[in-house]
């Protein structure tokens, strides 16, 4: 008969890793989702996967000392947080790419790294929300849960948080997400270079005519047509790359 305190501590240690991941994972970590809902999700997922991990948790708790148990709490939180952050990198780079693409076709002001509480351009908000919805529709959030359970085989309870390895993995994943976002934004970048070069050339040929202001509606119309033609392929490519990361990463 396993003591009650062992069961409670096992559930709490599982909640530490799950809660750290839910705090940063895409789709659930936005400020628009109430903290209470995120807490309930983390508690529900922790109780759901506790039977799969209870034996290892109980063995660790019964054999660990007090300092080891206290040290396991921040270690589990950091492990879950880095797992959620690696997945969130994709959506942060997607938002940055969408803001850049909106600026390329004249739908927003100067480009910058989007903040969590900052309003994105309407097109960027629409496509980012669509990508998040596609993540849930395609059941990729279940892949994240599978990865969390599998993480206990790679980083067992009590091993400790490896800061150097986590930092290297975060840098590699951020680089991969950045390269993906650049590939997705490349059609809009090429369009912006061509159209602005043509407008600049016309402005040099006819300096007495305000070509830039006259061409703004046509630049926007061409950008919207390009966005209409590329939006479905853009989202499919992003979701496919994100799904490959969840399965292999």
CA-CA distance, 249 to 246, in Å (whole number)?
A: 5
Residue range 219-241: mean pLDDT, rounded: 87
Judge whether 238 and 184 are in contact, CB under 8 Å: yes
CA distance from start to end of the chain: 38
Q: Is the pLDDT of residue 101 over 60?
A: yes
Residue range 129-148: mean pLDDT, rounded: 86
Q: Is the pLDDT of residue 114 over 70?
A: no
CA-CA distance, 68 to 224, in Å (whole number)?
A: 57
Query: Per residue in 196-209, pLDDT tens?
Result: 888 888 877 777 77
Q: Is the pLDDT of residue 175 over 60?
A: yes
pLDDT at 82: 86
* Lowest mean pLDDT, pick from 22-26, 91-95, 155-159, 223-227: 155-159
Longest dimension (CA), the chain: 90
Q: Is the pLDDT of residue 102 over 70?
A: yes
pLDDT at 160: 67
Q: Is the pLDDT of residue 136 over 80?
A: yes
* Lowest mean pLDDT, pick from 39-48, 76-85, 174-183, 204-213: 204-213
pLDDT at 119: 66
CA-CA distance, 203 to 63, in Å (whole number)?
A: 77
pLDDT at 249: 61
In the chain, alpha helices (H): 4-24, 35-63, 66-104, 122-137, 140-154, 163-205, 211-248
CA-CA distance, 202 to 221, in Å (whole number)?
A: 18
pLDDT at 109: 55
């Amino acid at each position: 008969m396993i003591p009650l305190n062992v069961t409670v501590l096992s559930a709490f240690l599982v909640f530490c890793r799950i809660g750290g991941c839910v705090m940063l994972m895409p789709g659930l970590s936005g400020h628009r989702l109430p903290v209470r809902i995120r807490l309930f999700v983390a508690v529900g997922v922790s109780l759901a996967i506790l039977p799969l991990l209870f034996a290892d948790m109980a063995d660790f708790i019964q054999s660990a000392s007090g300092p080891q148990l206290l040290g396991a709490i921040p270690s589990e939180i950091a492990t879950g947080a880095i797992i959620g952050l690696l997945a969130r990198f994709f959506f942060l780079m997607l938002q940055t790419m969408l803001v850049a693409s909106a600026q390329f076709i004249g739908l927003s002001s100067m480009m910058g790294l989007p903040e969590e509480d900052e309003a994105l351009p309407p097109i960027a908000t629409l496509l980012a929300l669509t990508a998040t919805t596609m993540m849930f529709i395609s059941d990729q959030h279940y892949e994240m849960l599978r990865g969390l359970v599998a993480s206990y085989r790679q980083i067992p309870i009590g091993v400790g948080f490896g800061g150097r390895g986590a930092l290297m993995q975060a840098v590699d994943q951020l680089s991969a997400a950045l390269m993906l976002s650049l590939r997705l934004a490349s059609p809009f970048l090429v369009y912006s270079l061509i159209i602005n070069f043509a407008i600049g050339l016309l402005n040099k040929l006819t300096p007495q005519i305000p070509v830039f202001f006259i061409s703004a509606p046509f630049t926007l119309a061409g950008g919207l047509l390009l966005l209409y033609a590329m939006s479905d392929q853009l989202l499919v490519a992003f979701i496919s790359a994100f799904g490959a990361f969840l399965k292999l990463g």
